[in-house]
């Protein structure tokens, strides 16, 4: 097994890889710990060797240095000093062997911050996927939701639907016109259609994301997802019709939906170079995405916590953007997590419907280190319990 070490002022990590036939056995973590391990399978031994060399090249590029067998230690020079012991009484020292501590055969049972928490299979399936834990492959869509999407937006909820987008920029007016014309679609035009049906009328529909990726490809889906972060509209309901007015500026945050996080599943399963191209798209688009929606980008990229941390630093300065709470799922820097504690508008980890999903996602991705972010919630629970006990005793 080839071992590589990375060390700087903040970290001291190792990474190791060994080829066994058509498999790569990979181990990584903090120096001094057992770390984590993963086995990747390939079509044949040649493919495994090629992938291994590519991974090694990437690590070396990041600053990892191969750890070679250490040379023999040089002999230590010992000088003898003569001491005059005239007049010193001879003393015999006797050791009680039972008092000599035996060397520990096993390490102390304390878990390090980067230790993995092994979740049950059922709980693991509830967590959001990532490239470390991608889950099963996505099946080919059986039914088409895209086919009638362009027609459905003219008859939402069975009512005649009209649109006003005169306040939008010329670019977005063109995108909306394209969406309403039901012809060939750009990512932004498809984003308009998807936002209309997914945020107000169809609800969750993660299967629609599967079909978009299957038909148009993952990069197109990422472009569409980015465009969705800009779109905002209001609905006016009449007895037989619905009037939709598009807003030129995003006036409120959009909730995270199963449709949104389904993109994370496809990113988790993507081939490395394709995934990197998608990451580059997010990074390029990020500065122009409305600040209130930028945490959505971080949620798609759990493998890049530095992106979430950069977003957190900027948005925490603005004080009033409640969606920074979503960054608790990805941020790892302790000082930023502390600053995020006061943001609890969504009460993520205690949410009745989806709290379990966010909890197991953090535990699966960050292990022991992830437990700390539940502390404020536990303190509130304990305070409530003690308060109830106090009231009971008084009565």
CA gap 229, 253 in Å, rounded: 9
What are 108-148's pLDDT values in tens digits? 555 666 677 788 888 888 999 999 999 999 999 988 889 88
- For 286-350, the DSSP string reads GGGS-GGGHHHHHHH-TT-HHHHHHHHHHHHTTS--GGGGGGGGT---HHHHHHHTT--SS-GGG
Same structural domain, 360 and 276: no
Query: Dihedral sign, CA of 358, 361, 365, 369?
Result: positive
**Same domain (yes/no): 231, 306:** no
148 shares its domain with 249: yes
Per the structure, the complete domain to which residue 346 belongs is given by: 302-395
Q: What angle do the packed helices 187-200 and 206-216 form, to 10 degrees?
A: 170
| Residue 71 pLDDT > 50 | no
Tell me what pLDDT residue 139 has: 93
pTM higher than 0.85: no
Q: Name the residue with tokens 């939906």.
A: 257
In a domain, 104, yes or no: no
Sign of the torsion angle spanned by Cα atoms 297, 298, 304, 306: positive
Q: Is 114 within the bounds of a domain?
A: no
Cα–Cα dist 225/88, whole Å: 86
Confirm whether 395 is domain-assigned. Answer: yes
Assess if residue 212 is contained within a domain. Answer: yes
pLDDT of 323 higher than 50: yes
Q: Which of 21, 43, 66 is the last residue of a domain?
A: 66
* Judgement on whether residues 264 and 171 belong to the same structural domain of the protein: yes
- 79 is a domain residue: no
Considering the domain architecture, whether residues 327 and 239 belong to the same structural domain is answered as no
Residues 262-301: tens digit of each pLDDT:
999 999 999 999 999 999 999 999 999 999 999 999 999 9
What mean pLDDT value characterizes the chain? 84
- At 331-346, the pLDDT tens digits run 999 999 999 989 988 8
CATH number at residue 61: 2.20.140.10
Which ranges of 28-148 does DSSP label H, i.e. alpha helix? 45-61, 121-126
Whether residue 341 is found in the same domain as residue 278: no
Mark whether 243 and 266 lie in a shared domain: yes
Q: pLDDT confidence of 29, banded at 50, 70, 90?
A: confident
Same domain, 157 and 259: yes
Q: Which residues contact 250 (CB under 8 A, 6 or more apart)?
A: 229, 230, 231, 232, 290, 292, 293
Same structural domain for residues 371 and 315?
Answer: yes
Residues 340 and 265 both lie in one domain = no
**Which of 43, 66, 89 is the last residue before a domain boundary?**
66
Is residue 346 included in any domain, yes or no? Answer: yes
Q: 262 lies in a domain? A: yes
* pLDDT tier at 42, thresholds 50, 70, 90: confident
Give me the numbers of helices (H) and strands (E) for the chain, helices first please: 14, 8
Q: Is residue 75 part of a domain?
A: no
Q: Count how many domains the chain has.
A: 3
Q: Which of residues 27 and 262 earns the better pLDDT score? A: 262
Q: In the prediction, which pLDDT does 377 show?
A: 62
Q: How many Å is the Cα radius of gyration of the chain?
A: 29
Q: What tens digit of pLDDT does each residue of 183-209 get?
A: 899 999 999 999 998 776 555 688 999
Across 353-376, average pLDDT: 84
Please tell me the distance from the alpha carbon of residue 138 to that of residue 290, in angstroms, as a whole number.
Answer: 31
């Amino acid at each position: 097994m080839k071992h590589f070490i990375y060390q700087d002022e903040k970290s001291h990590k190792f990474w190791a890889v060994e080829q066994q036939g058509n498999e790569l056995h990979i181990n990584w973590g903090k120096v001094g710990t057992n770390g984590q391990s993963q086995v990747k399978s390939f079509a044949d031994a040649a493919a495994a060797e090629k992938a291994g060399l590519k991974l090694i090249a990437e690590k070396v590029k990041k600053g990892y240095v191969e750890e070679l067998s250490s040379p023999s230690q040089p002999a230590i020079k010992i000088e003898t000093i003569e001491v005059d012991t005239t007049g010193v009484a001879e003393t015999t020292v006797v050791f009680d062997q039972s008092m000599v501590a035996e060397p520990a055969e096993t390490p102390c049972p304390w878990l390090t911050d980067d230790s993995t928490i092994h979740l049950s299979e059922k709980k693991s399936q509830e967590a959001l996927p990532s490239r470390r834990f991608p889950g099963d492959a996505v099946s080919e869509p059986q039914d088409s939701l895209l086919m009638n999407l362009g027609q459905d937006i003219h008859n939402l909820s069975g009512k005649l639907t009209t649109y006003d987008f005169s306040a939008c920029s010329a670019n977005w007016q063109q995108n909306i016109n394209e969406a309403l014309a039901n012809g060939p679609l750009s990512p932004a035009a498809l984003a308009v259609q998807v936002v209309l049906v997914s945020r107000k009328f169809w609800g969750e529909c993660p299967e629609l994301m599967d079909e978009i990726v299957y038909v148009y490809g993952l990069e197109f889906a990422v472009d569409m997802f980015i465009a969705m972060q800009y779109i905002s509209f209001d609905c006016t309901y009449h007895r037989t019709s619905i009037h939709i007015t598009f807003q030129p500026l995003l006036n409120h945050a959009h909730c995270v939906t199963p449709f949104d996080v389904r993109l994370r599943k496809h990113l988790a399963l993507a081939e490395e170079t394709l995934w990197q191209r998608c990451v580059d798209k997010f990074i390029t688009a990020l500065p122009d995405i409305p600040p209130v929606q930028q945490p959505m980008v971080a949620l798609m990229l759990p493998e890049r916590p530095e992106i979430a941390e950069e977003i957190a630093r900027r948005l925490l300065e603005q004080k009033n953007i409640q969606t920074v709470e979503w960054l608790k799922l990805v941020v790892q820097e302790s000082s930023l997590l502390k600053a995020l504690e006061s943001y609890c508008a969504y009460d993520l980890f205690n949410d009745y419907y989806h709290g379990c999903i966010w909890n197991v996602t953090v535990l699966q991705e960050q292990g022991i280190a992830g437990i700390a972010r539940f502390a404020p919630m536990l303190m509130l629970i304990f305070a409530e319990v003690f308060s109830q006990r106090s009231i009971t005793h008084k009565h």
